[in-house]
Structure 1
Amino acid sequence: MTKKLFAFIVVFTTCGALTGIHAKNPFSKGDRIVNVGIGIGSYYGGSGYTSSIPPLSVSYEQGIIDGLLDGKASVGVGGYMAYTANKWETSISNSTYGYKYSYLIIGARGTFHYQFVDKLDTYTGLMLGYNVVNSKFFGDDPGSHTSGPTGVSGLGYSAFIGARYHFSDKLAAFAEIGYGISALELGISIKL
């Protein structure tokens, strides 16, 4: 699936670059943008875990300040929501058991944008949110595990850098790296 996603993004970016559409101000005061992405390299899980739902995210951002640093910089605020799920299982003496985990992050983000080149909106930001974590035991209990649901939820944070490549005034592809639902998020951005 990762190879197909990568191929799609390369083709999408190449097509956009060939069209020659120019986006003068990729992010300004009053702009509203929705990002929809999929994560690669999740921080949740580990050795022996299998992903049942890949990291998925949606974020909203609105420009609140522009015209900074010779008109090339702006500031935005917005919200973020992401979800992923995985499981860990093992078999002992013909008994299979394990845990299913789910992770939901809801947060508020602030971003600082700076345009280095045309059509490319580069930014960095911080997020403060709440991470809802649930786990549930499944299978035959061999006696050493509890079968009740458990969860460890709490405040979460993220620092990230990203870029949006604009194919038109309304459509862009984005990539973000940092600490969040995954190490790398790729997807599309739509200006409302």
Structure 2
Amino acid sequence: MKMKNILSTLLVIAVLGITSQTAFAQEQFQKGDKILNVGIGGGGYGFYGGGFAVGGSFEYGVHEFISVGGQVDLNFYNYSYAFGFKDNYISVPIAARGSYHYGKHFLTINALDLYAGPVLGFSIDGNEYYSGTSIVIGAQAGARYYFKPAMGVFAEFSGGSNVIPAKVGLTFKF
């Protein structure tokens, strides 16, 4: 399935969930919240060309504004060298992450959670000519919108070493 089709499907799910749900009292991020993100990503990867990723993250609220957790992605990339040589590349970044949930400082939309924070870990990398590990270090920022008390959508942007630049998907709160 092409990434465009997957993004369209996620958008339809989000719109149906938003329009079919009656109003509810949903607090923004709270201490003790358990959040699971499952999604897809894409974009460039360092000096490599286009790519596609699937993965997830889990966070636990340790403070009214702070969560900690981890993330795992499976990334597929294609890149080319001079003279038309092309290669495929796979990486599996495994990282710890932390988030500061800053939206409640100024937002009145209870169902919207804005967050940002660091990402640190390692990546298992390889193709048919190379395998090894590398460091994952970066920062992420994103937003979650809950169209039901325990289900919503998210969009996340990242920068740094061995991180996926953009991810979208479903989010679940326990």
Q: Same fold (TM over 0.5)?
A: yes
Q: Identity, % of aligned pairs?
A: 27
- Superposition pairs of residues 156-171 of structure 1, within 5 angstroms: 156-171=136-151
More strand by share: 1
Report deviation, 1:132: 1.6
Aligned to 1:5: 6
Residue 80 in structure 1 maps to residue 71 in structure 2? yes
Partner of 1:172: 152
Query: Which residue, out of 94, 97, 102, partners 1:109?
Result: 97
Query: Do 1:163 and 1:175's aligned partners in 2 also have CA atoms closer than 8 Å?
Result: yes
Aligned partner letter, 2:166: L
> What amino acid does structure 1 have at the position aligned with 2:172?
I
SS in 2 for 1:65: coil
Whether the aligned pair in 2 keeps the contact of 1:37 and 1:57 (CA below 8 Å) is yes
The offset of 1:153, in angstroms, is 2.0
Of stretches 97-106 and 34-43 in structure 1, the one that deviates more from structure 2 is 97-106
User: Secondary structure of the residue that 2:27 maps to in structure 1?
Assistant: coil
Q: Offset at 1:24?
A: 2.2
Cα distance in 1, alignment partners of residues 25 and 42 from structure 2:
28
1:95-174 pair list within 5 angstroms: 99-113=87-101, 114-115=103-104, 116=107, 117-137=109-129, 150-174=130-154
Rg bigger for which structure?
1
Distance 1:23 1:43, change over 3 A: farther
Runs of 5+ unmatched residues, structure 1: 67-73, 138-149
CA distance in 1, matches of 2:22, 2:3: 28
Which runs of at least 4 in structure 1 moved beyond 4 Å after TM superposition?
A: 87-90
CA distance in 2, matches of 1:79, 1:100: 26
Aligned-pair Cα RMSD in Å = 2.5
Q: Show the counterpart of 1:185.
A: 167
1:56 aligns with 2:44: no
The residue identity in structure 2 corresponding to 1:11 is V
When residues 151 and 63 of structure 1 are mapped into structure 2, their CA distance, relative to the original with a 3 A threshold, is same
SS at match of 2:120: strand
One-letter code aligned to 1:80: Q
TM-score, scaled relative to structure 2: 0.81
**Structure 2 runs not aligned, ≥5 long:** none
Given that 2:48 and 2:78 are in contact with CA atoms closer than 8 Å, whether structure 1 keeps it comes out as: no
CA distance in 2, matches of 1:56, 1:167: 23
Under a length normalisation based on structure 1, what TM-score does the superposition of the two structures give?
0.75
State the alpha-carbon separation in 1 of the partners of residues 80 and 142 from structure 2. Answer: 35
Give the match for residue 143 of structure 1.
Answer: none
Of 31-40 and 16-25, the range deviating more from structure 2? 16-25
- In 2, Cα distance between the equivalents of 1:8 and 1:23? 27
